Amino acid sequence: MTSEPLYHPQGDELALYEAAYAARLPVMVKGPTGCGKSRFVEHMAWRLGKPLITVACNEDMTASDLVGRYLLDSQGTRWVDGPLTQAARIGAICYLDEVVEARQDTTVVIHALTDHRRCLPIDKKAEVVQAHPDFQLVISYNPGYQSAMKDLKPSTKQRFVAFDFDYPLPDLEAQIVVSETGIDIATATQLVRIAGAARALKGHGLSEGVSTRLLVYAAQLMRQGVAPRDACRMAMVRPITDDLDIRQSLDHAIDAC
């Protein structure tokens, strides 16, 4: 990654992450959708000058998808490292995004990498990969989506130090929208105000509020000449709910701004 990923600190998270990396501690980042978790990890990898390997976890992901597998080609059978193994070998930061989406029997493979052993057993090869000194494991997830079926085991959680993320304070969030899109601060402030009205409905008809990412989308649409009301409805209302009453309430909030 050659250019700096734009990230606006909300507190002392930069220094705290650097301390965690210096101790090579595995890191867990928790927070709602679109609040900047992935951007934070990208920024820290850039700041530390380390390669970043990102894995978007899903319910169909197997341990082989992380560790590696044997493949057949014209030369016969060959082993191909998965992203976790590759990161451990070269000393990259391996980022497992939305790790709770993966099956629990898949996430168990990270355990030996997240304690004093710092190794990855590869049963299929009868090999134990000792993690490079620069290797670090980072995971993220959205606690708002947790359920009995989608949560990390306590034995997994207690292998990490953790950061709690949330949406930025209004003034900072408006600055982020301006920095990302070039829109004027007055319009960005109004977008943040609308987002605040939507977030107040979380738990009262909405499972998740309007993310900072969606504010950026709305501003980008406006920069393309889309009328502000239409841009807000497209980016900040229609994606988050199909409930007609809630849509109407949010549309009224947009009209009021």
Residue that finishes a domain, picked among 132, 164, 196 = 164
Q: Specify the range with the lowest mean pLDDT, choosing from 20-24, 100-104, 137-141.
A: 100-104
131 and 31 within one domain: yes
| pLDDT for 147 beyond 70 | no
Quote the pLDDT of residue 104: 77
In a domain, 195, yes or no: yes
Both tokens of 85, joined, read 């193994």
In a domain, 2, yes or no: no
Using 50, 70 and 90 to split pLDDT, how confident is the model at 148?
A: very low
Please say whether the beta carbons of 239 and 214 come within 8 A: yes
208 and 108 within one domain: no
Using 50, 70 and 90 to split pLDDT, how confident is the model at 146?
A: low
Please say whether the beta carbons of 224 and 202 come within 8 A: no
Distance of alpha carbon 17 from alpha carbon 25, whole angstroms: 9
Question: Domain holding 62: CATH number?
Answer: 3.40.50.300
In a domain, 77, yes or no: yes
152 and 193 within one domain: no
Please say whether the beta carbons of 167 and 68 come within 8 A: no
133 and 41 within one domain: yes
What's the pLDDT tens digit per position in 35-88? 999 999 999 999 999 999 999 999 889 899 999 999 988 788 899 999 999 999
The total number of structural domains that make up the chain = 2
Both tokens of 171, joined, read 């003034």
- Mean pLDDT rounded to a whole number for the chain: 91
Please say whether the beta carbons of 140 and 29 come within 8 A: yes
Residues in Cβ contact with 187 at an 8 Å cutoff, skipping those fewer than 6 apart: 219, 222, 228
92 and 157 within one domain: yes
Please say whether the beta carbons of 167 and 194 come within 8 A: no
In a domain, 5, yes or no: no
Residue that finishes a domain, picked among 141, 164, 187 = 164
195 and 251 within one domain: yes
Please say whether the beta carbons of 112 and 154 come within 8 A: no
Using 50, 70 and 90 to split pLDDT, how confident is the model at 243?
A: confident
User: What residue has token string 């080609």?
Assistant: 73
135 and 82 within one domain: yes
Which residue type occupies 250?
Answer: L
Report the first-to-last Cα separation within the chain, whole angstroms: 39
Residue range 86-107: mean pLDDT, rounded: 92
CB atoms within 10 A of CB 130: 12
List the domain range (segments joined by +) for residue 187: 170-256
205 and 96 within one domain: no
Residue that finishes a domain, picked among 164, 193, 213 = 164
Both tokens of 53, joined, read 């390997």
Q: Specify the range with the lowest mean pLDDT, choosing from 50-59, 180-189, 241-250.
A: 241-250
| pLDDT for 5 beyond 70 | yes
Quote the pLDDT of residue 145: 61
In a domain, 6, yes or no: no
Residue range 10-30: mean pLDDT, rounded: 96
175 and 151 within one domain: no
- Would you give the distance in Å from CA 143 to the centre of its chain? 12
Phi and psi at 53, nearest 5°, equal -115, 115
Residue range 138-149: mean pLDDT, rounded: 74
In a domain, 28, yes or no: yes
